[in-house]
């Protein structure tokens, strides 16, 4: 419904997820309601409840309140249903009722009858029943597709409409009557997104639909969360046939791709907003090389590999490249892998995702793959080679006969960013093998370019090396320590501080120089060429809640040089999260050796720890040492000044500083800072591995979001420690 504002008619929208609604629900519904239940029914609560730390706490516990408030968000009715259920006088057992609520939140499929939010489910049932019968089948098809995906992420209206081969206006018409539960722009637009207001409607569709009233939607309950039994009917096929009942037969199979594709992985996904981008004027040399590469019709190098340490800006370059190619109609598909978004690291979904994006843009390609999808709707369960052959090789070879999709003169780009986050090592190797095999076929591959980015992990280095030997790929390695990286960081800092100064100009005198020359020298020396480090500083100093950049910059500089500066903000929280995930990727059985090697590196020579010294000190062989550091190639590397002098060094001081600071890495710092001679790593065994993994897990929980940040003084200019991001 479009709301038109007039002088005498103002419109105010009440939201579920704004801060005021969330606070009101937490304070006035959840907490006040539980307190009233406690006061009215004191007998059942004589015994205190054991909390998560092993102590005791009065019922209801703080964890109970936080959990209910989190699930309710700002949805008053959801919270009210929960409180009424817990305080139901006829049941006379609030503690048991609260337990049932928590069980329902953990598994919404467990209580379809008499569940805590059954009054809300009756409203949802009425909303579905009121959908116009003329559009019911189309509305059902849309709901089937967007409900199969987990979570309440946003979907592009245009993408969903394209997958069903319908105009956006028809798509909007299909959702008419559902806008009480689905958030969608009131005006049809190809850039609009759709999203469930609250997870309770999503879970109702999945688990609470009455099959006798909505048979087509009841299929979703069976396929949710992978609960398909071996003797169950082919529900995937049922969904496709139901969704496609009003579609052209040769297009209907495309509907299978959306539920199994990574819908939040493309370059313009709302879940990635704001995405990282190359700052204006940075990475100019790499941009120039890429432009030349794209126009070289005679080159056999169809793959561009970009590697570099964590935080160096690989994703920013991939994002900018994808956006530029999209503007010139040269982008075929893009996948930005992410370990933090559910489903966006599953290798089995890579090929369907590429196919879905290609089909949304090119009708010729869509027409070719639709029959194959209808014939075999279980394509997501096939191995990567079958998927690649069916959805990439065969259709593209056919299209190349007439050069209807791309050509040497009209190239097409596919971008895969963050390959190290895609499934297992074996899956990454297999995927790149398939791409390289396809790139060998000059006829089919001519005009199709692949850009792949990844951290320099050992298996990725081997992949790139083999492809380079075969002249199939061009390799660009991003670094911190080169002049271009340092110049780029200098530009980012200067532009960033210029914007901060302009925004808070009222805090400075008309002739005051800020930052000062001393500030600049220190910031440049500390950042080196580490773009993410510089970005953290700018984000910290420009914090809108504090609105005092002068004070924040002084705090930031103090945090870089001292651990004694108290402050509630944490400028390097993003870096800490990155380093934490990297450490957690190390297999538990080799954690003890890994931490001891890192400890030796930190307390060893400033120009890097000789590998032979580490092997001798820890009494390990070369294979054990390299295996222990296998998952850390994005933060440590090896330099060689001669055949016998290979050294281990950190790309940037921020990683060892993170390891040493207990306020940032928790108990990890204890193992890093202890005297390495106290423990013989060869005697630790499984018990020591378990202890070290426990240290990592506890460290993960104990990283403090407040308090001082300990980053000791950086090595003086001219030291031999290699700085990289």
pLDDT, tens digit (0-9, with 9 covering 90-100), for 610-658: 999 999 999 999 999 999 998 899 899 887 555 457 899 899 988 998 8
Contact status, residue 148 vs residue 259, Cβ threshold 8 Å: yes
pLDDT digits (tens, 9 = 90+) for 3-25: 444 444 455 556 677 788 888 88
Contact status, residue 548 vs residue 501, Cβ threshold 8 Å: no
Task: Please give the pLDDT value at position 226.
Answer: 39
At the topology level, CATH places domain 270-477 in: Rossmann fold (3.40.50)
Contact status, residue 313 vs residue 245, Cβ threshold 8 Å: no
Q: How far apart are CA 524 and CA 516, in angstroms?
A: 12
H helix or E strand, kind and range, residue 527? helix 517-527
Beta bridge partners of 540: none
pLDDT digits (tens, 9 = 90+) for 421-458: 998 999 999 999 999 999 887 666 678 899 999 998 88
Q: What are phi and psi of 438, to 5 degrees?
A: -65, -40
What's the mean pLDDT in 124-152?
71
Confidence of residue 677 (pLDDT cuts 50, 70, 90): very low
Q: Give percent above pLDDT 90 in the chain.
A: 26
The more confident residue out of 627 and 381 is: 627
Q: Count of alpha carbons within 13 Å of 117, Cβ hemisphere only?
A: 31
Task: Please give the pLDDT value at position 225.
Answer: 39
Confidence of residue 525 (pLDDT cuts 50, 70, 90): confident
> What residue spans define the domains of the chain?
19-106, 121-247, 270-477, 483-561, 574-702
Statement: residue 129 has pLDDT above 80? no
Task: Please give the pLDDT value at position 304.
Answer: 96
Q: How far apart are CA 502 and CA 494, in angstroms?
A: 12
Share the mean pLDDT of the chain. Answer: 77
Statement: residue 92 has pLDDT above 70? yes
Q: Count of alpha carbons within 13 Å of 540, Cβ hemisphere only?
A: 27
Q: How far apart are CA 379 and CA 70, in angstroms?
A: 37
Question: Which residue in the block uniquely carries the two structure tokens 């062989």?
Answer: 621
Task: Please give the pLDDT value at position 56.
Answer: 60
Statement: residue 679 has pLDDT above 60? no
What's the mean pLDDT in 106-113?
66
Task: Please give the pLDDT value at position 599.
Answer: 93
Statement: residue 701 has pLDDT above 90? no
Statement: residue 710 has pLDDT above 50? no
Statement: residue 478 has pLDDT above 80? yes
Describe the crossing of helices 215-223 and 136-148 by its angle, rounded to 10 degrees: 10
What's the mean pLDDT in 462-484?
90
Task: Please give the pLDDT value at position 687.
Answer: 42
Residues in contact with 268: Cβ distance below 8 Å, sequence separation at least 6, in sequence order: 156, 323, 326
What one-character-per-residue DSSP string does 142-186 give? HHHHHHHSSS---EEHHHHHHHTT--HHHHHHHTTT-TTTEEE-S
What's the mean pLDDT in 273-298?
90
For the whole model, what pTM was predicted? 0.62
Q: How far apart are CA 349 and CA 336, in angstroms?
A: 12
Find which of 129-138, 384-393, 655-664 is predicted with most confidence, using mean pLDDT: 384-393
Task: Please give the pLDDT value at position 434.
Answer: 95
Task: Please give the pLDDT value at position 315.
Answer: 95
Note the CATH number of domain 121-247.
Answer: 1.10.10.10
**Do 121-247 and 574-702 come out as alike in CATH topology?**
yes
Statement: residue 392 has pLDDT above 90? yes
pLDDT digits (tens, 9 = 90+) for 402-418: 777 888 788 899 999 99
Find which of 52-56, 153-157, 539-543 is predicted with most confidence, using mean pLDDT: 539-543
Question: What does the block give as tokens for 644?
Answer: 């016998």
Task: Please give the pLDDT value at position 560.
Answer: 67
Task: Please give the pLDDT value at position 54.
Answer: 56
What one-character-per-residue DSSP string does 629-659 give? TGGGTTTEEEEESSTT-EEEEESSTHHHHHH
pLDDT digits (tens, 9 = 90+) for 35-62: 888 887 655 554 555 555 555 667 888 8
Task: Please give the pLDDT value at position 223.
Answer: 40
Statement: residue 283 has pLDDT above 90? yes
Interior angle at CA 272, CA 266 and CA 273, nearest 5: 120
For domain 574-702, the CATH architecture is Orthogonal Bundle (1.10)
Statement: residue 489 has pLDDT above 90? yes
What's the mean pLDDT in 358-362?
88
Task: Please give the pLDDT value at position 186.
Answer: 65
Find which of 253-257, 266-270, 278-282, 548-552 is predicted with most confidence, using mean pLDDT: 278-282
Contact status, residue 481 vs residue 722, Cβ threshold 8 Å: yes
């Amino acid at each position: 419904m479009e709301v038109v504002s007039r002088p005498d008619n103002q419109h105010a929208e009440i939201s579920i997820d704004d801060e005021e609604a969330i606070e009101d629900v937490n304070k006035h519904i959840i907490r006040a309601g539980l307190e009233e239940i406690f006061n009215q029914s004191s007998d059942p609560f004589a015994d205190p409840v054991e909390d998560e730390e092993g102590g005791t706490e009065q019922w209801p516990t703080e964890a109970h309140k936080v959990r209910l408030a989190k699930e309710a968000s700002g949805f008053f009715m959801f919270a009210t249903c929960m409180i009424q259920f817990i305080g139901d006088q006829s049941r006379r057992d609030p503690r048991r009722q609260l337990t049932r609520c928590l069980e329902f939140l953990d598994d919404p499929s467990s209580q379809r009858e008499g569940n805590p939010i059954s009054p809300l489910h009756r409203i949802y049932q009425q909303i579905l029943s009121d959908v116009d019968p003329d559009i019911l089948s189309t509305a059902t098809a849309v709901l089937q597709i967007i409900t199969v995906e987990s979570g309440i992420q946003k979907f592009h209206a245009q993408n969903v409409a394209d997958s069903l081969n319908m105009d956006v206006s028809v798509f909007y018409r299909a959702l008419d009557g559902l806008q009480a539960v689905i958030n969608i722009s009131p005006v049809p637009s190809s850039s609009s997104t759709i999203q469930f207001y609250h997870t309770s409607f999503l879970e109702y569709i999945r688990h609470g639909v009455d099959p006798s009233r909505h048979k087509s939607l009841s299929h979703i309950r069976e396929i949710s969360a992978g609960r398909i039994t071996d003797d169950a009917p082919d529900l995937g096929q049922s969904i496709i046939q139901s969704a496609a009942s009003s579609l052209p037969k040769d297009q209907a199979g495309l509907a299978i791709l959306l539920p199994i594709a990574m819908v939040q992985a493309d370059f313009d996904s709302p879940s990635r907003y704001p995405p990282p981008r190359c700052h204006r004027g940075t990475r100019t040399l790499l941009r120039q090389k890429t432009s030349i590469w794209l126009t070289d019709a005679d080159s056999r190098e169809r793959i561009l590999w970009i590697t570099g340490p964590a935080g160096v800006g690989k994703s920013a370059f991939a994002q900018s490249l994808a956006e530029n190619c999209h503007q010139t109609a040269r982008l075929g598909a893009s996948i930005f892998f992410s370990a933090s978004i559910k489903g966006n690291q599953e290798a089995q979904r890579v090929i369907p995702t590429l196919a879905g994006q290609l089909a949304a843009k090119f009708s010729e390609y869509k027409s070719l793959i639709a029959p194959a999808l209808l014939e075999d709707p279980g394509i997501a369960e096939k191995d990567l080679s079958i998927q690649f052959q069916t959805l990439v090789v065969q259709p593209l070879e056919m299209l190349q006969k007439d050069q209807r999709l791309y050509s040497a003169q009209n190239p097409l780009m596919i971008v895969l960013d963050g390959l190290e986050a895609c499934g297992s090592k074996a899956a990454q190797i297999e995927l790149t093998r398939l791409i390289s095999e396809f790139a060998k076929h000059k006829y089919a591959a001519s005009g199709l370019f692949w850009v792949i980015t990844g951290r320099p992990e050992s298996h990725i280095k081997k992949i790139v090396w083999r492809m380079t030997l075969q002249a199939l790929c061009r390799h660009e390695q991003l670094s911190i320590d080169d002049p271009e990286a340092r110049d780029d960081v200098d530009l980012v800092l200067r532009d960033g501080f210029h914007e901060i100064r302009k925004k808070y100009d009222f805090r400075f005198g008309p002739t005051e120089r800020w930052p000062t020359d001393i500030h600049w020298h220190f910031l440049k020396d500390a950042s080196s060429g580490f773009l993410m480090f510089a970005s953290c500083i700018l984000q910290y100093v420009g914090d809108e809640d504090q609105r005092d950049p002068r004070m924040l910059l002084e705090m930031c500089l103090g945090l870089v040089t001292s651990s004694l500066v108290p402050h509630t903000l944490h400028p390097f929280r993003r870096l800490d999260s990155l380093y934490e995930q990297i450490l957690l990727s190390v297999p538990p059985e080799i954690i003890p050796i890994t931490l001891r090697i890192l400890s030796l590196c930190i307390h060893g020579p400033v120009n890097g720890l000789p590998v032979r010294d580490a092997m001798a000190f820890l009494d390990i062989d070369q294979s054990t040492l390299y295996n222990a550091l296998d998952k850390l190639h994005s933060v440590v590397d090896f330099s060689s000044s001669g055949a016998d002098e290979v050294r281990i060094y950190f790309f940037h001081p921020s990683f060892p500083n993170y390891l040493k600071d207990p306020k940032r890495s928790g108990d990890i710092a204890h193992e890093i800072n202890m005297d390495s001679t106290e423990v013989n790593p060869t005697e630790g065994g499984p018990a020591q591995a378990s202890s070290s993994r426990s240290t990592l897990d506890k460290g993960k929980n104990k990283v403090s979001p407040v308090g001082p940040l300990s980053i000791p003084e950086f090595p003086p200019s001219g030291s031999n420690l290699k700085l990289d991001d």
